[in-house]
Amino acid sequence: MGKLFGTNGIRGKFGDELTVELAVKIALSIGTYFNGGEILVGFDGRVSSPILKRAVISGLLASGCNVAHAGMLPTPVLQFGVKYFKYDGGVMITASHNPPEYNGIKVIGPDGIEIPRREEEKIEEVFFENKIHRAAWNEVGRIKEEPNVIQAYIDEIIKQVNVRKIASRKFKVVVDPGNGVSSLTTPIVLKRIGCEVITINDVIDGKFPGRGPEPIPKVLGIVSKMVSSSNADLGVSLDGDGDRAIFTDEKGVTHWGDKSGAIIEKYLLQREGGGIIVTPVSSSKLIEEIAMKYNGEIIWTRVGSVTVSHKLKEVNGTLGIEENGGIFYPPHQLVRDGTMATLLMLEVLTHEGEGLSKIVDKLPRYYNYKDKIPCPHNLKKKVMEKMLLEVKCEEAVKIETIDGIKIWKDENKWVLIRPSGTEPIIRIYAEAKSNEEAKELVEKYKEKLRGILA
């Protein structure tokens, strides 16, 4: 059977891999799967989103589902809305941090999480085996507006932190939505809790003219300058659909998500006296070291936010962390949320009483290095099998195969070899106590892969 869903829903270039016709058929399949339920539909600020939204709504209605139209909003806000207003499911039109020509369709279950793989397969079965339910003319769904999702979200999310304490610090925060839809929530939430907010790239624009939709440190120079020149306490840059947040400290230095995640982790484990932390195998050892030190337990998962969410739900976890800036805080919701990450970071700053740069300085230090090697999809399985046989003969403390092959050379040094789910490449990640060691590891395993491929 064919596959529609990737690691993060259905994604593709608009008009090419993801056409309007395809979107209608996908929506008919999603609607058949939901079997006449009430579905909340939202969309991000991409140029093609209003078109795809209409196609998706048409498909859902034609399959007999009722649709509540939530309008333009961040992905975590739609997810919150599905759960809060008790819809049977949700559909979000977004391609998150992908380039502007892309778009995508995410299917949300009644718990607010994207449906797990086994449920996606049910939709694929409907789609590929033509089991679509087409409602009769007098049984098609009805559409209504649901304009209150953003307001409900803002009112509820601020209850997750101590507003009075945070407000007393009068933080100045630079917010950079990167022309994405977090413009509709993050600056407003921060003002509500007494922060002075300076915004940049805050005009929603599907061409993402500011710095592109993905908040990686090399494109955040303007945030860094703005934080320094305005004497701000913090900078926060969100991805296109607002579920990931990357932070810049008061000195203008931007930190990757493993560091900000570890800082929030440390705070929560101390506050709760322990807990379960869920994170993908590609994350830094830093996450584990903090967990060990503060009475936490760590659960490593496959790479992908949907996996982290469902694992958090299963084990009743305290926090989920992705190195790319994804923070999952279950008391709010089980999915990553850039605004929630920002509120937690402000709570940490309030609690610690010092700047983010000093808090980062106190963390154990690790160095990461990444590379990739081309490998056709059809060879990936064979190459990985061969690799596993080879590494089993090596000296290693531990070999894990949760996702790809992770080889621990010693307790602070590992390399992960993992085929990409979407691209014809195999990724190689390494971490060590020095940059040279990490780079050396990547080079060594790249050579091995080359050998196998030859």
Q: In this chain, which residue has its C-beta nearest to Mg ion?
A: 96
Q: Which stretch binds Mg ion (CB under 5 A): 23-31, 241-249, 322-330, 400-408?
A: 241-249
Three-state SS for 11?
A: strand
Three-state SS for 298?
A: strand
124 lies in the site for Mg ion, by CB under 5 A? no
Angle at CA of residue 240, ends 234 and 244, nearest 5°: 50
Q: Residue 283 catalytic? A: no
The minimum distance between CB 109 and Mg ion, in angstroms, equals 18
239 lies in the site for Mg ion, by CB under 5 A? yes
Q: Give me 413's structure tokens.
A: 């040094």
The minimum distance between CB 52 and Mg ion, in angstroms, equals 17
Q: Which stretch binds Mg ion (CB under 5 A): 109-117, 137-145, 231-239, 416-424?
A: 231-239
The torsion defined by the Cα of 305, 311, 315 and 319, in degrees rounded to 10, comes to -10
Q: Which stretch binds Mg ion (CB under 5 A): 196-204, 236-244, 248-256, 289-297?
A: 236-244
Query: Closest by alpha carbon to 117, among 326, 324, 421, 426?
Result: 421
Cα 313 from Cα 189, distance rounded (Å): 26
Query: Closest by alpha carbon to 150, among 93, 73, 82?
Result: 73
The minimum distance between CB 8 and Mg ion, in angstroms, equals 8
Q: Which stretch binds Mg ion (CB under 5 A): 60-68, 152-160, 232-240, 424-432?
A: 232-240
Query: Beta-carbon neighbour count of residue 85 at 10 Å?
Result: 16
Classify residue 388 by burial, with Cβ atoms within 10 Å: 0-12, 13-18, 19+.
middle
96 lies in the site for Mg ion, by CB under 5 A? yes
> Which residue, 242 or 419, is less far from Mg ion as judged by CB?
242
> Which residue, 241 or 258, is less far from Mg ion as judged by CB?
241
DSSP string, 391-438: HHTS--SEEE-SSSEEEEEETTEEEEEEE-SSSSEEEEEEEESSHHHH
| Chosen residue from 38, 241, 258, 403 binding Mg ion by CB under 5 A | 241
Instruction: Considering the candidates 29, 48, 96, 282, report the single residue annotated as catalytic.
Output: 96
> Which residue, 214 or 347, is less far from Mg ion as judged by CB?
214
> Which residue, 243 or 258, is less far from Mg ion as judged by CB?
243
Contact indicator for 226, 237 with CB cutoff of 8 Å: no
The minimum distance between CB 436 and Mg ion, in angstroms, equals 33
| Chosen residue from 124, 243, 322, 403 binding Mg ion by CB under 5 A | 243
The minimum distance between CB 388 and Mg ion, in angstroms, equals 32
Query: How would you list the strands of the sheet with 425-432, edge to edge?
Result: 367-374, 425-432, 413-419, 405-410, 398-400
Total binding residues toward Mg ion, as defined by CB under 5 A: 4
Q: Which stretch binds Mg ion (CB under 5 A): 64-72, 233-241, 300-308, 409-417?
A: 233-241
233 lies in the site for Mg ion, by CB under 5 A? no
Which residues are known to be catalytic? 96
The residues binding Mg ion (CB under 5 A) are: 96, 239, 241, 243
